Structure 1
């Protein structure tokens, strides 16, 4: 996927640790912004929404 199709999470930490997300048709791709060449994780849109809700609510901690 082209670089311009990836975007940085709105929850980027001040130290620069963050994830990047791409939204190809019917999927959500997630990768580490500091290790872009090491691949990405592919999840369904509904799984991504559930994860974001869990993190936002504090039910899941992110380090």
Structure 2
């Protein structure tokens, strides 16, 4: 497995307590920044692309 480079959401105001993702050409890895050493979720890019509109919709309704 390649070394994953995790990045946090730009919506995290102080850079803590958020979702982090790491990408490879074939997978998207998702973890909780509060528990970075626990197992993480891995999905395909197509699954991630299908998920993103739901996140955008819930974020807009939370504002």
Q: TM-score, normalised by structure 2?
A: 0.72
* Aligned CA-pair RMSD: 2.2
Name the counterpart of 1:56: 56
Gaps of 5+ in 1: none
Distance in 1 (CA, whole Å) between partners of 2:51 and 2:11 is 13
- Once the two structures are superposed, the pairs formed by residues 1-63 of structure 1 within 5 Å of their partners are 2=3, 5-12=5-12, 16-58=16-58
Distance in 2 (CA, whole Å) between partners of 1:43 and 1:24 is 11
Query: Mean alpha-carbon deviation: is it higher for 45-54 or for 5-14?
Result: 5-14
Distance in 2 (CA, whole Å) between partners of 1:46 and 1:35 is 26
Length, aligned pairs only = 58
Spell out structure 1 runs of 4+ moving beyond 4 A: none
Deviation at 1:24, TM superposition (A): 1.6
Gaps of 5+ in 2: none
Q: What secondary structure, in the 3-state scheme, does the structure 2 residue paired with 1:53 have?
A: helix
